[in-house]
Chain A
């Protein structure tokens, strides 16, 4: 029982990490950019969800709030991509990376300025009802259950989108070879914007699920969550979509395991240790392909 509850916790956290890691990995796969601002998209999504759900603010029905959060995150990502990343499309990678850090800082500090530094309480019960189901002698609350199911559904949709649709094909083409894709008549800029939007949409779902599970929304929320998801993306093999899913669940389970063993204050250290070991043993991650470097 003890084991199962920790397993469920790990899977819940892991599915959120996986959703966020997908955003990192998709953007990296397509323009080789570590989008440091991705964690902060979740923070913004968390605030949007909080304000639209909470009865003290707008008190919208959950379905509307979910749509608003996802669309809000997507819009934010598109705007950030247009204003900050697009002018640097041909700049050195290091400049783009620093810009991403700048965007992350900007979002955090704007959030702090507008919403204050004190954490706000997320109205969990308005999104997912309290209670749960009992399987045998194990009680599982609705929140982790719905989190895991929602994450899995999102991943299935994403896989369908990437593997079966024309847009997905274009995305894969751009990530394979940008110039060749351009020659084949694919509008690379549109595809990049679309990728950002999809990644941010997943971040929006992640924000909702995170808020439901860990109801503390503050302006620095994205930092640790983003870092962990980012580690998950790297461990899984950055640029690989199934890798991000596996990595996300793996990192979530590791955190739960370390907590279960009673070393909860070391769990972040453990995750980074795993990252370092993976990078040293297999730098491309679990699912990553090694690439030849061109001169």
Chain B
């Protein structure tokens, strides 16, 4: 316990001060970037940035139910629709002066959606697991059908038009911060622990005296409230509402954000909302493949990392700062952790595996730099950094395609390498082959086009194939040792750091 005394901590008020300061800075900087006129950001990009904020709220609110409560509702877009139409109708009616109307409309949207949440939640949450998914799906569809058919109030299939565009950067991101803070504080409280215990084991939680139905309905209602607010912001961003944009697919899109980011990770939800929402911008050149790639991503992530990319890991600034303060031994640990895979990479005791890993890392580095390049291209800050010529047309589409192609080649090389190795199970190989073939089918035209990628294959393939044969005896001798070293490797997944 002496360790505990030596461990320096940051006092709570200072933590809050740091966080608040950073958030204010974020809002100010973001406002300057998007609307300050300092950078050449177009209307479309502005709208995407606002949309990212809206989807962050949606993802974080769905994460409360999916990640923390452990249920799977499939009708989140329904609540969003309720909020959007409530706010849309309220704003267009011109009931109040503009400034007050904006705030009242947002809150009203949230409250109406929350009422729907209670109405739906009480019967739905008595059911478990799959039935909940079905019943929420049904409610989502009914809401959409109601909106389509009640054309007198909602404008029907034609859509509700002429909604004042209230959603600007500051409004949306203040809502984002409120939503995240609300959920964070909820999860840190006694109620949050009750919600988590329901996820871990509902029956055990119930037998510990936790009112499971009450907490389920509460989490569901908070989630619906936030979805309603997000819907209102959505209405204020587009200025026009159509029932078609609140269908089953919209619910799935939000679910996908949560799942890919990590069920139970707020940082994951925020990051993946940002990436997935802005992805269509990057992928304009390959819009027809976009949904194929999304679907594949969903399946692959579920198979290889069912808890999502970040799992339940959450980022905490003050914790990272504390780690930095107590760095005398922490850094050593960190370096040691980092050194293990590097050491294994450099010292080839099993060349086939290591080389596969090496090419994998190479591809990762190349892809990451290319993504960075595309972001630079997107925001036209290339000239500032001296990386890209100014206004290089279609720069990022090009980079993105290149990225995908190199990824495809990485898969080819990896698969062919695997074919020649004994320690790879048949099932795993089959899976990789299937992914590869789908990938190849999807990108056959692009693959043919790209000469540079072919060159990569031509160089990497012999290395990939010949090296294991050259070092064969060594590889077999060291195989058992290698396997143990893998199982010992610490921190493979990042693990659960709580929060």
**A residues near B, CB below 8 A?**
28, 32, 34, 79, 82-84, 86-88, 91-99, 101-103, 105-106, 108-110, 112-113, 223, 227, 230-231, 234, 238, 265-266, 268-269, 272-273, 275-276, 279-280, 283, 293, 295
Judge whether B123 and A97 touch: CB under 8 Å. Answer: no
Inside 8 A of A92's CB, which chain B residues have their CB? 306
Give Cα A276–Cα B438 distance, bound, in whole angstroms.
Answer: 39
Inside 8 A of A105's CB, which chain B residues have their CB? 252, 291, 294-295, 298
Residue among B149, B259, B298, B302 with most chain A CB within 10 A: B302
Inside 8 A of A265's CB, which chain B residues have their CB? 145, 148-149
Contact residue among A79, A102, A108 (Cβ-Cβ distance under 8 Å from B298): A102
Judge whether A283 and B127 touch: CB under 8 Å. Answer: yes
Give Cα A88–Cα B431 distance, bound, in whole angstroms.
Answer: 13
Judge whether A279 and B123 touch: CB under 8 Å. Answer: yes
Give the A-B pair count, Cβ closer than 8 A: 124
Give Cα A81–Cα B164 distance, bound, in whole angstroms.
Answer: 49
Of chain A, the residue at the smallest CB distance from B145 is A269
Judge whether B306 and A280 touch: CB under 8 Å. Answer: no
- Interface membership of B299, Cβ < 8 A: yes
Inside 8 A of A82's CB, which chain B residues have their CB? 430
Inside 8 A of B306's CB, which chain A residues have their CB? 88, 91-92, 95
Q: Which DSSP category, helix, strand, loop or mixed, fits chain A's interface?
A: helix
- Interface membership of B112, Cβ < 8 A: no
Judge whether B133 and A34 touch: CB under 8 Å. Answer: yes
Minimum C-beta distance from A96 to chain B (A)? 8
Inside 8 A of B203's CB, which chain A residues have their CB? 293, 295
- Interface membership of B135, Cβ < 8 A: yes
Judge whether B302 and A272 touch: CB under 8 Å. Answer: no
Minimum C-beta distance from B78 to chain A (A)? 11
Q: Mark B284-312, 1 if CB is under 8 A from A, else 0.
A: 00001101101110110011001100000
Inside 8 A of A103's CB, which chain B residues have their CB? 295, 299
- Interface membership of B315, Cβ < 8 A: no
Inside 8 A of B72's CB, which chain A residues have their CB? 94, 97-98
Minimum C-beta distance from B272 to chain A (A)? 14
Q: Knowing A102-B299, A105-B294, A105-B295 touch, does A272 contact B259 (C-beta < 8 A)?
A: no
Judge whether B138 and A99 touch: CB under 8 Å. Answer: no
- Interface membership of B255, Cβ < 8 A: yes
Inside 8 A of B442's CB, which chain A residues have their CB? 113
Judge whether B130 and A93 touch: CB under 8 Å. Answer: yes
Q: Knowing A103-B299, A275-B138, A280-B123 touch, does A83 contact B431 (C-beta < 8 A)?
A: yes
- Interface membership of B134, Cβ < 8 A: yes
Of chain B, the residue at the smallest CB distance from A95 is B306
Judge whether B138 and A106 touch: CB under 8 Å. Answer: no
Judge whether B288 and A268 touch: CB under 8 Å. Answer: no
CB<8 Å pairs between A and B, sample of 7: A84-B303, A93-B129, A96-B302, A102-B299, A227-B141, A283-B126, A295-B204
Ranked nearest first, the 8 interchain pairs of A and B with the lowest CB-CB distance are A102-B298, A106-B295, A105-B295, A95-B306, A272-B138, A102-B299, A109-B291, A269-B145
Judge whether B299 and A106 touch: CB under 8 Å. Answer: yes
Q: Knowing A84-B299, A276-B139 touch, does A101 contact B123 (C-beta < 8 A)?
A: no
Number of residues on chain B facing chain A (CB within 8 A): 48
Q: Which DSSP category, helix, strand, loop or mixed, fits chain B's interface?
A: helix
Of chain A, the residue at the smallest CB distance from B431 is A83
Minimum C-beta distance from B32 to chain A (A)? 39
Give Cα A295–Cα B206 distance, bound, in whole angstroms.
Answer: 11
- Interface membership of B70, Cβ < 8 A: yes
Judge whether B303 and A88 touch: CB under 8 Å. Answer: yes
- Interface membership of B434, Cβ < 8 A: yes
Inside 8 A of A272's CB, which chain B residues have their CB? 138-139, 141-142
Minimum C-beta distance from A226 to chain B (A)? 11
- Interface membership of B131, Cβ < 8 A: yes
Q: Knowing A83-B430, A94-B72, A279-B123 touch, does A106 contact B292 (C-beta < 8 A)?
A: yes
- Interface membership of B52, Cβ < 8 A: no
- Interface membership of B263, Cβ < 8 A: yes
Judge whether B141 and A101 touch: CB under 8 Å. Answer: no
Known A99-B299, A105-B298, A275-B138; further 12 A-B contacts with Cβ < 8 A? A32-B130, A94-B70, A108-B295, A109-B292, A110-B292, A113-B288, A230-B134, A234-B131, A265-B149, A266-B149, A269-B142, A276-B135
- Interface membership of B146, Cβ < 8 A: yes
Give Cα A28–Cα B130 distance, bound, in whole angstroms.
Answer: 10
Contact residue among B138, B252, B434 (Cβ-Cβ distance under 8 Å from A101): B252
Q: Knowing A109-B295, A279-B127 touch, does A98 contact B255 (C-beta < 8 A)?
A: yes
Minimum C-beta distance from A201 to chain B (A)? 22
Inside 8 A of B358's CB, which chain A residues have their CB? none
Q: Knowing A106-B292, A113-B292, A295-B203 touch, does A223 contact B299 (C-beta < 8 A)?
A: no
Minimum C-beta distance from A161 to chain B (A)? 26
Inside 8 A of B295's CB, which chain A residues have their CB? 102-103, 105-106, 108-109
Considering the complex, which residues of chain B in the window 10-57 have a beta carbon less than 8 Å from any beta carbon of chain A?
Answer: none
Judge whether B430 and A34 touch: CB under 8 Å. Answer: no
Judge whether B130 and A97 touch: CB under 8 Å. Answer: yes
Give Cα A93–Cα B431 distance, bound, in whole angstroms.
Answer: 21
Give Cα A98–Cα B67 distance, bound, in whole angstroms.
Answer: 13
Of chain B, the residue at the smallest CB distance from A293 is B203
Inside 8 A of A279's CB, which chain B residues have their CB? 123, 127, 131, 134-135
Give Cα A94–Cα B295 distance, bound, in whole angstroms.
Answer: 16
Considering the complex, which residues of chain B in the window 75-122 have a beta carbon less than 8 Å from any beta carbon of chain A?
Answer: none
Inside 8 A of A101's CB, which chain B residues have their CB? 252, 255, 298
- Interface membership of B248, Cβ < 8 A: yes
Judge whether A231 and B138 touch: CB under 8 Å. Answer: yes
Inside 8 A of B303's CB, which chain A residues have their CB? 84, 87-88, 99
Judge whether A106 and B296 touch: CB under 8 Å. Answer: yes
Give Cα A53–Cα B75 distance, bound, in whole angstroms.
Answer: 39
Inside 8 A of B248's CB, which chain A residues have their CB? 223, 227
Contact residue among A34, A266, A295 (Cβ-Cβ distance under 8 Å from B130): A34
Of chain A, the residue at the smallest CB distance from B302 is A99
Minimum C-beta distance from B95 to chain A (A)? 30
Considering the complex, which residues of chain B in the window 243-297 have a beta carbon less than 8 Å from any beta carbon of chain A?
Answer: 248, 252, 255, 259, 263, 288-289, 291-292, 294-296
Of chain B, the residue at the smallest CB distance from A271 is B138
Judge whether A283 and B299 touch: CB under 8 Å. Answer: no
Residue among A101, A103, A275 with most chain B CB within 10 A: A101
Of chain A, the residue at the smallest CB distance from B434 is A83
Give Cα A269–Cα B141 distance, bound, in whole angstroms.
Answer: 7
Minimum C-beta distance from A282 to chain B (A)? 11
Q: Knowing A93-B130, A113-B292, A280-B123 touch, does A98 contact B302 (C-beta < 8 A)?
A: yes
Give Cα A272–Cα B248 distance, bound, in whole angstroms.
Answer: 14
Minimum C-beta distance from B200 to chain A (A)? 12
Give Cα A164–Cα B450 distance, bound, in whole angstroms.
Answer: 58
Inside 8 A of B138's CB, which chain A residues have their CB? 231, 272, 275-276
